[in-house]
Structure 1
Amino acid sequence: MQSVAHAIREALLTPDPRAKCFAARDVARRWRLGKLEWCFDVTMPDRPAWPDKPELLAPNRMPRRGKGGSERGRIALWHALAHIEFVAIDLALDMAGRFGGQMDRSFVDDFLSVAADEAMHFALLDRKLRALGSHYGALPAHAGLWEAAEDTSADVAARLAIVPMVLEARGLDVTPSTLVRVRSQGDENGAKILERILDDEIRHVAIGTKHFVALAKARNESPEKAWQNLVERHFRGVLKAPFNDSARLAAGLSRDFYGAIAS
C-alpha cells in the first residue's frame, strides 16, 4: 500500500494545474477510503511543481488590473483568484504531508479535505476564465504566495498561525466586497462561485484555528498570545481593517486574537 506521504509528494510535484487538481482530490479520496498507509516515509519538496505559465512576478511588478467592470479587469480579477486557489492546493497538501507525522490523524483528514476543496475552487475559477475567453496562465501572477510556507516550514504552529489564520482569514474579509461588486455587474454565476468559496474558507479557517488552539493548549500556552507572537515573527505584512468579524468568529477566530495587533 502506498504511504500517504508518498501520495502527497506526488501531487505536490504535479505541475499541470488540471492534473494537480485531480491528484489532490484523488489523494483525499484514497485516504478517506483507507487506501493509503499512515506512514511519513518521504520528505516534502521545498517548492511544489508549477506550470511554466503564469509568469510569477514580485508584488511591486504586478500590473494593475484595470477597471473592475471592463473585460480586462474582470479577467484579471478571476485570474488572480484562480492563482490564489491554485497555490492553496499546494499549501494544504504540504500542511498534511510535512506535519502530519507529528500530529494526529484528524489533522491529515482535515487538511487533505481542504486540499480537495481548493482543487474544486480552482476548477470552478478556471472554468470561469475559459467562459470569459481566457485561461489560467494567460496573465502574470503574484510570486509571493508560497513565501509563507517557506518561512514556516520548520514549525507546524507557525504554519497554522500564518496560512489559515492570517492568509485565509484575510479572504474572509475581502470576499464579501468582491461578491457585491461582481453581483452589481450582473454576474450571478460569478457571485455563486464566490459564495461557495467563502463558505468553504470559513471552514478552512476553523480547521486551522482548531488545530492551533489544541496545539497551544498542549504546550500550556495562551492560544491568543502564542498566535500574536508567531504573527509578529513570521508575517511580513500588517493586519488591516476592515475585518469580517462575524465570519472570523464563525471560524473560531475572535477579536481576542487579532484585535490587539491590528493596524
Structure 2
Amino acid sequence: MRCLRLYRLSRGRRIGEHPSMTDLTGRAVAVLQEADPQQKARLARVMAADWSNGEIAERGRDKPPDRPNRPTHPLLKRPGEVPRRRINRGTAGRIALLHALAHIELNAIDLACDILARFTAEQMPDAFYDDWLLVAEEEGKHFLLLSERLTELGAAYGELPAHDGLWQAAEETAHDLLARLAVVPLVLEARGLDVTPNMITKLQAVEDHESAAVLEVIYEDEIGHVAIGKRWFDHLCGTRNLDPRETWLSLVRLHFKGQVKPPFNAAARDSAGFPADFYEALALP
C-alpha cells in the first residue's frame, strides 16, 4: 500500500494539472519542463498528491531532459561570482540569503523529479517512489514558503544572480542512481543540515523570526530527505553486493567536485541514519 505524508496543497489543488497524463514519469518530466518557478513547485505537489491518491496509474517510461527548463531570471553565474550572503547587512542581506535558498529549493524540485524519471531501469519498489515524491512535494513547499517570505520583504525570486552548481552534480551522476544518491542527498543535502541551524540562529538574532520559522520547517524536512537518500543508497548497495561505506567514499571522491568539510551536525546526521564513519574520512587533511 502506498503511504505518503503530504501537507495541504496551497492555492488550489488542481492548478496546472495535466488530467490526461496518468503515468508518473510523464508527470515528473512535465515538472522538469515547466519554466515558471511557482508553477513548477505546484505541479510537483499535485503530482505527489495524485500518486498518493492512486490517480497516477503507471510508472511510465518518459525520459527526462538533460536540463530542466528555467525562467529567464535569475541570471546564472559561476559559484565564485555570486556575492556572499550576509544576514547582518539589513534587509538586503536577508533577502540575498532567502533568494539563494529559494534557488536551491527550485533545483531540489528538479533533482527529485529527475530521480523519478531517469532511473526507471533499476526496477525499484513502490516505496522508492513514495519517498522521492514526498521529497518533491516538500521541496515544492519549501520554494513556495521562501518565495512568499521574499514577497513579504519586498523582493522576488529571480531578482538576484544565482549559480548552477547543483545541476552540475545531477549531470555528473546521470548515468547511475547509486552515484546520484551518494552525491545529492548524502553530500549536498547533508551539508544543509550542517549550516541551517546557524542561519536560523542569526535570523533570530536580528529578530527576523518569520524567516527563521521558514528555515526551521526546511531543516526538519531535510533530515528526512537525507534519511531517504541513505535508505535507498543502502538498498542499492545490498542489491549490488557492495559495502555501503566504501562504495559511498569511492563515489563521492569520483563524482563530487567540492570538499566535504566540517563542522558537521552529527546529531542531525545521526537522526537521518548517516553515521560519522562515512563522512569524517573525507574531511581528514
Provide TM-score, normalisation by structure 1. 0.97
Q: Secondary structure at the match of 2:196?
A: helix
Q: Do residues 16 (structure 1) and 36 (structure 2) align?
A: yes
The answer to whether the 8 Å contact 2:87/2:203 transfers is: no
Cα deviation, 1:199-235, whole Å, max 9, x if unaligned, reads: 0000000000000011112212111111000000000
Residues of 2 paired with 1:157 and 1:50: CA distance? 26
Q: How many residues end up aligned between the 2 structures? A: 263
The separation in 1 between residues aligned to 2:81 and 2:88, in whole angstroms, is 19
Q: Deviations 1:89-111 (Å, cap 9, x if unpaired)?
A: 00011111112442221111110
Residue number in structure 2 paired with 1:218: 239
| Bigger Cα displacement from structure 2, 3-12 vs 196-205 | 3-12
Q: RMSD across aligned C-alpha pairs, in angstroms?
A: 1.2
Give TM-score scaled by structure 2 length. Answer: 0.90
Q: Which moved more, 1:3-12 or 1:59-68?
A: 59-68
Task: State the Cα distance separating 1:38 from its structure 2 match.
Answer: 2.4
The answer to whether 1:150 aligns with 2:167 is no
**Residue from 146, 169, 189 that aligns with 1:168:** 189
Moved over 6 A (4+): none
User: Percent identity among equivalent residues?
Assistant: 47
CA contact (8 A) 2:194 2:263 kept: yes
1:30-45 mapped onto 2 (5 Å cutoff): 30-45=50-65
Corresponding position of 2:266: 245
C-alpha separation between the residues in 2 aligned to 1:26 and 1:150?
26
1:67 positional shift? 5.8
What amino acid is the match of 2:24? V
> What do the CA deviations read for 1:96-130 (whole angstroms, capped 9, x no partner)?
11124422211111101100000000000001111
Paired residue for 2:152?
Answer: 131
2:208 maps to 187
Distance 2:147 2:240 in 1: 42
- Shift of the alpha carbon at 1:73? 0.9
**Unaligned ranges ≥5, structure 2:** 1-20
**In 1, Cα distance between equivalents of 2:155 and 2:221:** 25
SS of the counterpart of 2:283?
A: coil
Following TM superposition, by how much is the alpha carbon of 1:41 offset from its aligned partner in structure 2, in angstroms? 2.1
**SS of equivalent to 1:259:** helix
Q: Contact (CA 8 Å) 2:61, 2:120: kept in 1 or not?
A: no
Q: Which amino acid aligns with 1:200?
A: D
Query: Where does residue 79 of structure 1 map in the other structure?
Result: 99
Note if contact 1:179-1:194 (Cα within 8 Å) is conserved in structure 2: yes
Q: What does the per-residue CA deviation read over 1:29-73, in whole Å, with 9 as the maximum and x for residues that have no partner?
A: 111111112233211110111111000100121123356332221
1:17 counterpart letter in structure 2: P
Q: Following the alignment from structure 1 to structure 2, what is the Cα–Cα distance between the partners of residues 228 and 37?
A: 38
**Alignment match of 2:248 (pick from 221, 227, 232):** 227
Question: What residue identity is the alignment partner of 1:260?
Answer: A
Give the whole-Å Cα distance in 2 for the aligned partners of 1:241 and 1:21. 32
> What is the 5 A alignment of 1:43-82?
43-66=63-86, 68-82=88-102
**Gap runs ≥5 in structure 1:** none
Distance verdict in 2 for CA 1:67–1:25, change over 3 Å: closer
Write the distance in 1 (CA, Å) between the matches of 2:259 and 2:126.
Answer: 33
Find 1:116's aligned residue among 92, 113, 137: 137
Following the alignment from structure 1 to structure 2, what is the Cα–Cα distance between the partners of residues 158 and 83? 23
Determine the structure 1 residue equivalent to 2:8: none
C-alpha distance in 1 between matches for 2:281 and 2:81:
32
> Partner letter of residue 180 of structure 2?
R
- Counterpart amino acid of residue 144 in structure 1: G
SS of 1:51's partner is coil
Contact 1:100 1:107 survives alignment (8 Å): no
Equivalent position of 1:254 in the other structure: 275
